[in-house]
Structure 1
Amino acid sequence: MASQNAFQFGVEIELLLGSRKKAHGSWKALAKDLSKRLAKAGVANHVNEANDKSPDNYREWSIAPEVTIPSQPAKNLFGLELVSPVYPVYAYWAADLDAIFATLRASFTLTASPHCSTHVHVSRAGARGPLSATDLAALAKAALYYEPALDVLVPAGRRGTAAYWCQSNRANPALAGRGLAECLAVVDAVSGDARAVVEAVNLFPAGSAYGRAHGKLKDFVRGKVYKWDFTGMLQGGGGGARGTVEFRQAPGSLVADDAAAWVTLAVAFVVGATAVGARLGGPEVDVTGGAGPDELWALLAAGAEALGWESLGAVEGLFARRA
């Protein structure tokens, strides 16, 4: 059973942003303006123009460029990413999101874009260390089983093969062409080896355009193109933030409640999944076709209970909108 201080998270909020009051000649000028306004609102932050991933950059909010969002300088719009510090799950993070989005809406224009997304990194906190291989396998199985229910909550452009940066983990070479039960069995077979679990859900084909361009001779681990990125669990990295699993399917957030909903969902999912995912594929669980929304809600509620949360908060809005 998880406790309140057993998990922590970070969130990355991608935005296509412009100022309401002035035309900025560059991304850096916009970022410096935003940084100043956030600091005035009490949100400690800095501009991370080099997108440096060193630990010091996760002690407070940072503003980094996001190359996957096409900037439109002629329209005074620039792509950027707001990267949070590492938060304990019980901390004041929701109030920080409120302050950030209040600042954004007061002084900037937030433009909806299919290129924007909200990524949530989840990890264990303190001395317990990273997720065990067994926990990682349980989470991998849950990510596969609950995928249809999660798809219902996101825009069509972030389902199936529609989005390059959040493809189904079942599309990877280790699982492609297999039925769900067989996919779960593949993960079960390697559940004692964390690296093998990562490879089971995050392999990328050597024959892809990316693989050919980088001279890959065999399929390789690349998590940043899948809905769930487990590569942070590998020694030496692999693409993800060290020691974390990353939920990448959420769309861009234009209001605080949306960002809070995706954080809450991702954390509750990881905690609930590590408790029940091991059962998936067993004879007592029918995995035909994957989970529906009611099963997903039950999993999230179990995760929230384990964390000591009284409710799932803004997640209720996600379910209501997609009902």
Structure 2
Amino acid sequence: MTTANQVTFRFGVELELLLGSRAKKHKTWASLAAELSTRLAKAGIANHTNAGNEKTAENYREWSLVQEVTVPREVEKGLWGMELVSPILSPSPAEHWAGQLRTIFAVLKKHFVVAASPHTSTHIHVSTEPALPVVALAAVAKAALYFEPALDALLPASRGSGGGGGGGTYWCQSNRASVAMRGYAGGGLGECFTLLDRCAGTVGAGVSGGGGGYGLEDGHAGGEIGGVEPLIRAMCLFPASSAYGRAHGYASDFVHGVYKWDFSGLLPDTGSGTLEYRQPPGSRTADEARAWIEVGLCFVAGAVDAGHSLDPFAQADATMEDLWWVLCAGAQSTGLGELKGIEGMDFARGKMRAKGGRR
């Protein structure tokens, strides 16, 4: 079985902002982006404007500026949705990327207005070399479901449970709301784990009873549901009957990246090769951004080794300390070392520092 120490981790971060200039009220996003790009370059941050949000490799060699259309603009105030997309980064040395974050947010503080908005978020993309096999991905998926209440507790209400059931906002829904997963969620976390084990091929490989009716067997001969793609569908299947599905003409349920943990980037041949943690709110300081990077990156790495040892029937007994040790294990596996971002940040609702202890 693959362990976290057997792969090399990489990550990227997307910083969504509602941004305006202190110098002038820009009437267009392009004008604001031009000023931001110039000021970042003068501060030593290599960057470019990616107006078309192209996903080519060239766009991930330096920071890029993308228009964030999901953040409502306030033209009369000169405020525009702006996304700063990082290059592909290595966890170690942490000072390399943490220093870039400090420089970026220093530029933002001096020359721009970063307005509070419930529509902004911080997304962390995690990749490995070589790619994680399905058994390791199933371990991460199990941990994501198991620790969902603990992770929710770290977040503001707008990004957390969403008033019950781990719902969250439209753009970061609980993975238990996946069309495939919710058919099992009624039977408790144990049934969800059984589904993930079937996807991983560790139990019941080839049986259609668990997957039948939930779209997991589509495209797999004989109804077999083992493999990376069925696992992705288990965690991120979206209904064709939804407004989005109808508007885009889907005839059957489809993989959609609107869940807290977005596995769609791991789709063979078509994905970006990354697993995305979408839940954190918008970061308004470098310390906040660093903390959320540590949570997303180290959780994935720690879950690779811990996920299959979790007891779904003991979820109610899980503590913030359990989550803390998963993150600490991930920090060691990735080479990140100390969790300086998390240790230095008082989360609005979280109690990790109080209950998680110190290493």
Deviation at 1:87, TM superposition (A): 0.4
Matches within 5 A, 1:118-137: 118-125=122-129, 129-137=130-138
What is the aligned counterpart of 2:292 among 241, 247, 262? 262
Q: Does 1:185 align with 2:212?
A: no
Aligned to 1:212: 246
The separation in 1 between residues aligned to 2:11 and 2:19, in whole angstroms, is 24
Deviation at 1:162, TM superposition (A): 3.7
Deviation at 1:318, TM superposition (A): 4.7
Matches within 5 A, 1:283-322: 286-289=313-316, 291-318=318-345, 321=348, 322=350
The separation in 2 between residues aligned to 1:8 and 1:212, in whole angstroms, is 36
Q: Mean Cα displacement is larger for which, 292-301 or 141-150?
A: 292-301
Matches within 5 A, 1:265-276: 265-276=295-306
The separation in 2 between residues aligned to 1:228 and 1:134, in whole angstroms, is 17
Deviation at 1:173, TM superposition (A): 1.1
SS of 1:69's equivalent in the other structure is coil
Aligned to 1:236: 269
Letter in 2 for 1:161: G
Aligned to 2:140: 139
Deviation at 1:55, TM superposition (A): 0.7
SS of 1:53's equivalent in the other structure is coil
Q: In the alignment, is the contact (CA less than 8 A) between 2:172 and 2:259 conserved in 1?
A: yes
Change (3 A) 1:303 1:319: farther
Deviation at 1:309, TM superposition (A): 3.4
> Percent of counterpart pairs with the same letter?
51
Q: TM-score, normalised by structure 1?
A: 0.93
Aligned to 2:236: 202
Q: In the alignment, is the contact (CA less than 8 A) between 2:146 and 2:315 conserved in 1?
A: no
Aligned to 1:172: 178
Change (3 A) 1:80 1:320: closer
Q: TM-score, normalised by structure 2?
A: 0.84
What is the aligned counterpart of 1:6 among 5, 8, 22? 8
The separation in 2 between residues aligned to 1:233 and 1:290, in whole angstroms, is 31
Deviation at 1:4, TM superposition (A): 10
Q: Does 1:77 align with 2:79?
A: yes
What is the aligned counterpart of 1:22 among 15, 20, 24? 24
The separation in 1 between residues aligned to 2:314 and 2:144, in whole angstroms, is 13
Q: In the alignment, is the contact (CA less than 8 A) between 1:180 and 1:289 conserved in 2?
A: no
Render the CA deviation track for 1:272-301: whole Å, top value 9, x for unaligned.
Answer: 0001112234xxx74333733111101101
Render the CA deviation track for 1:209-238: whole Å, top value 9, x for unaligned.
Answer: 11122222221111x210000111112325
Letter in 2 for 1:93: W
SS of 1:287's equivalent in the other structure is helix
Q: In the alignment, is the contact (CA less than 8 A) between 2:45 and 2:100 conserved in 1?
A: yes
Q: In the alignment, is the contact (CA less than 8 A) between 1:61 and 1:82 conserved in 2?
A: yes
The separation in 1 between residues aligned to 2:39 and 2:5, in whole angstroms, is 36
The separation in 2 between residues aligned to 1:270 and 1:319, in whole angstroms, is 22
What is the aligned counterpart of 2:112 among 108, 114, 128? 108
The alignment yields a C-alpha RMSD, in angstroms, of 1.7
SS of 1:306's equivalent in the other structure is helix
Aligned to 1:153: 154
Deviation at 1:90, TM superposition (A): 0.6
The separation in 1 between residues aligned to 2:12 and 2:200, in whole angstroms, is 26
SS of 2:314's equivalent in the other structure is coil
Letter in 2 for 1:185: T
The separation in 2 between residues aligned to 1:199 and 1:290, in whole angstroms, is 29
The separation in 1 between residues aligned to 2:341 and 2:6, in whole angstroms, is 19
Change (3 A) 1:134 1:210: same
The separation in 1 between residues aligned to 2:73 and 2:143, in whole angstroms, is 36
SS of 1:225's equivalent in the other structure is coil
Q: In the alignment, is the contact (CA less than 8 A) between 1:19 and 1:108 conserved in 2?
A: yes
Deviation at 1:137, TM superposition (A): 0.7
Aligned to 1:36: 38
SS of 2:124's equivalent in the other structure is strand
Deviation at 1:206, TM superposition (A): 1.4
Q: Mean Cα displacement is larger for which, 303-312 or 45-54?
A: 303-312
SS of 1:39's equivalent in the other structure is helix
Structure whose alpha-carbon radius of gyration is higher: 2
Change (3 A) 1:312 1:169: same
Q: In the alignment, is the contact (CA less than 8 A) between 2:236 and 2:259 conserved in 1?
A: yes
SS of 1:289's equivalent in the other structure is helix
The separation in 2 between residues aligned to 1:308 and 1:48, in whole angstroms, is 31
What is the aligned counterpart of 1:87 among 78, 86, 89? 89
Q: Which runs of 5 or more structure 1 residues have no equivalent in the other structure?
A: none
